[in-house]
Chains A and B, each alone.
Chain A
Amino acid sequence: MIALESLTSCFQGLIPAWLCTCSADGVPNVAILSHVDYVDSQHVALSFQFFNKSKRNVAENPKALVRICDPDTFQFYALRLRFVRTETEGPLFESMRLRIEAIASYSGLKGIFKLLGADVYEVSSVEPIAHEVGRRLPSVATEPRAGAGVPFTMKALQELSDRIHRAPTLDCLLEVILETLESLFGFRHSMILLASDQPDRLQTIASRGYPAGGVGSEVGFGEGIIGMVAEARKPIRVSGLLRQFLYADAVGRRAEERGLCGEKARIPLPGLPNPESQLGIPLLVRDELLGVLCIEADRSYRFHEEDRTYLEVLGGYLAIAIQNALLRERADDAEAQPLPPRPEPVPATAAATPRLAVEYYRGEELILVDGEYLVRGVPAKILWKLLHERSSGAAEFTNRRLRLDRSLGLPDYKDNLESRLILLRRRLEERCPGIRLVQSGRGRFRLELASGLDLIERP
């Protein structure tokens, strides 16, 4: 029998699988499956989401046949199965549940499109179907594949480690991580989200490989793959997202017809507009969730199980590196030299540049520049304070002074000030180059203005 381990490519859910069952009175049934999961060398698991004919059939007659397809070669395989049990908890169930709920949350179908159980089947035979073979794509055959043993070498990991150790600041560290994921491991689209000052929300603090950086974009816990990773603190890998969205949409239509859900709306999330593959890794230090690393591709089946395993291990290391950088900057901040005496007020207006209207909405804690959203929450409060002080002549600031400013409402412990400043600086670079935050030393920075400002405070 062909070893199930050799068919890992088939268990990505990229090509729909079929399940053939037969009732006790001899009537066959065929159903499309959203996913077949590898369990061990003798078992697979099928998702059980709805009570349907297949489910009733295997309860009466445990024999079944499933047809799966290798997305690299389009070779089909027939697996003869015997139903063993349904799991409703445990690692297998959790891993399948998270993937399904991530798709459901994109489509506004949480609670409708969900896993009821992981049906475990023993595999008695695996046969390739000789006449149902495709053609290996040249790109698939020749492109180095992450997880195929090439990228995650000890040498590459050592290089990543060296680069992380050399990063002098948190800001540099985030850049180094994302740059290295591309240059050494081939992951071209990636982002890091850290816990926001809002409860159960993450904010993008660094990204790479996107036309718009997306820094500052937010994701709630439980929303999409990133939010599910944060909620469950487990990695999630999804391939063939387009097909799975279509599947979820079809479920949604039926649920709506039956009055089982209200109006559903796809939640806009940061990242590629139409990703085909996503891999989310929690950044955990001990039990604390620091954030999420998300890697995307616009190609189906980009990430393999090996990628998930390697990146999960790497995620722990990156989380510690990020936390160390945060702690180091805070310590540096305590040692920062006091600022020199305040200079004469600096003219705020550059001669030929148009003025910017900066509006601060105190109630919502958000800032618009020329009517466009810039930033909200603690970063908005920081910027408003800096702009006000700048208008009265201050140009140089320290993290320490901000940290001690009670009006900003930073918590006494783990205020994440450094990550908020990075987010603010990057948002300004992306959306408002007329205002710049420039690092001017350990724990200090300068506010530079290339435009005159009209500061308007709203309730």
Chain B
Amino acid sequence: MPSKPLIPDDLVPEFERGLSIAIGTRDGELQADGCSAWAARVHDDREQLTVFLYEAAAPAMLRNLEQHPEIAVLLERPSLQRGWQVKGRFVSARPARDDERADVERQAHGFRAELQAIGIPGELTAAWSLWPCVAITLRAERLFEQAPGPGSGEPLR
């Protein structure tokens, strides 16, 4: 019997709707580092996730990932204070393709709408640098619930 995919079907549209996305990596001294990403795409196998980050943010993350592939991706929906964390290992990185740009912008727009819902004016975030992006793919190994409160951080998968 095939095992359950790591990322459940019902979370796929949620992950791709336009969320606050944060990436965590670390260096050889166990110093954590992180940056924002503007979009996420769950692969059909539900085991791989690609995140899109602005190209200027990528070098620091890739320097870490090439030596230490452990990666954490936090996806959060601010208006509901719901969140998930995917932990896994770096697979590959490449420049995002032109045909991916529309989806990156759609998700970034969705995230900005989420921020507006919690009182952050859209004008404030209008100048964010979104494109070009680097696409970083990871193999997801564990999935955690990340809503604040007692039990936050418990594994879902």
Among A17-25, A156-164, A410-418, the stretch that binds chain B is: A17-25
A137 within 8 A of B: yes
Q: Of B22, B32, B150, which is in contact with the most chain A CB atoms at under 10 Å from its CB?
A: B32
B57 within 8 A of A: yes
A28 within 8 A of B: yes
Q: Smallest CB–CB gap between A15 and chain B, Å?
A: 7
Check if A31 sits within 8 Å of B74, measured CB to CB.
yes
Check if B32 sits within 8 Å of A65, measured CB to CB.
yes
Q: Smallest CB–CB gap between A139 and chain B, Å?
A: 9
**In A52-79, which residues have CB < 8 Å from any B CB?**
52-53, 61, 63-65, 67, 71, 73-74, 76, 78
| Alpha-carbon gap, A246 to B29, bound state (A) | 36
Q: Smallest CB–CB gap between B125 and chain A, Å?
A: 6
Check if A251 sits within 8 Å of B148, measured CB to CB.
yes
Check if B119 sits within 8 Å of A300, measured CB to CB.
yes
Check if B23 sits within 8 Å of A30, measured CB to CB.
yes
A289 within 8 A of B: no
**Which residue on A lies nearest to B69, using beta carbons?**
A26
Note all chain A residues with C-beta closer than 8 A to B82: 250
B74: contacting residue among A22, A32, A246, A251, CB under 8 A: A32
Check if A32 sits within 8 Å of B150, measured CB to CB.
no
Q: Smallest CB–CB gap between B32 and chain A, Å?
A: 4
Note all chain A residues with C-beta closer than 8 A to B152: 50, 52, 254
| Alpha-carbon gap, A53 to B24, bound state (A) | 14
Q: Smallest CB–CB gap between B107 and chain A, Å?
A: 16
**Which residue on B lies nearest to A29, using beta carbons?**
B72
Check if A133 sits within 8 Å of B127, measured CB to CB.
yes
B47 within 8 A of A: no
User: Chain B contact residues (Cβ within 8 angstroms of A): what range?
Assistant: 35 or more
B120 within 8 A of A: yes
**In B106-157, which residues have CB < 8 Å from any A CB?**
118-121, 123-129, 144, 146-153
Interface string of B67-86 (1 = CB under 8 A from A): 01011111010111111010
**In A76-122, which residues have CB < 8 Å from any B CB?**
76, 78, 80, 112-113
B30: contacting residue among A22, A73, A78, A132, CB under 8 A: A22
- Known contacts A29-B85, A134-B124; decide if A50 and B29 are in contact (CB<8 Å): no
**In B47-62, which residues have CB < 8 Å from any A CB?**
54, 56-57
| Alpha-carbon gap, A336 to B77, bound state (A) | 65
A130 within 8 A of B: yes
A27 within 8 A of B: yes
| Alpha-carbon gap, A113 to B81, bound state (A) | 15
Q: How many residues of A contact B (CB 8 A)?
A: 56
Note all chain A residues with C-beta closer than 8 A to B80: 246, 250
Check if B83 sits within 8 Å of A242, measured CB to CB.
no
**Which residue on A lies nearest to B54, using beta carbons?**
A131
Check if A130 sits within 8 Å of B147, measured CB to CB.
no
| Alpha-carbon gap, A367 to B150, bound state (A) | 45
Q: Smallest CB–CB gap between B119 and chain A, Å?
A: 5
A253 within 8 A of B: yes
Note all chain B residues with C-beta closer than 8 A to A29: 24, 32, 72, 85, 87
Interface string of A239-253 (1 = CB under 8 A from B): 010110011011111
**Which residue on B lies nearest to A135, using beta carbons?**
B127
B78: contacting residue among A131, A133, A246, CB under 8 A: A246
Check if B148 sits within 8 Å of A137, measured CB to CB.
no
| Alpha-carbon gap, A65 to B72, bound state (A) | 14
B33 within 8 A of A: yes
Q: Of B57, B73, B85, B149, which is in contact with the most chain A CB atoms at under 10 Å from its CB?
A: B149
Check if B150 sits within 8 Å of A20, measured CB to CB.
no
Check if A18 sits within 8 Å of B150, measured CB to CB.
no
B31 within 8 A of A: yes
- Known contacts A26-B26, A30-B34, A65-B34; decide if A50 and B149 are in contact (CB<8 Å): yes
Interface residues, chain A, with chain B CB atoms under 8 Å away = 14-16, 18, 20-22, 24, 26-32, 34, 50, 52-53, 61, 63-65, 67, 71, 73-74, 76, 78, 80, 112-113, 129-135, 137, 240, 242-243, 246-247, 249-255, 258, 260, 276, 300
What are some 7 contacts across the A-B interface (CB < 8 A)? A20-B32, A27-B72, A131-B57, A133-B128, A135-B124, A243-B78, A252-B149
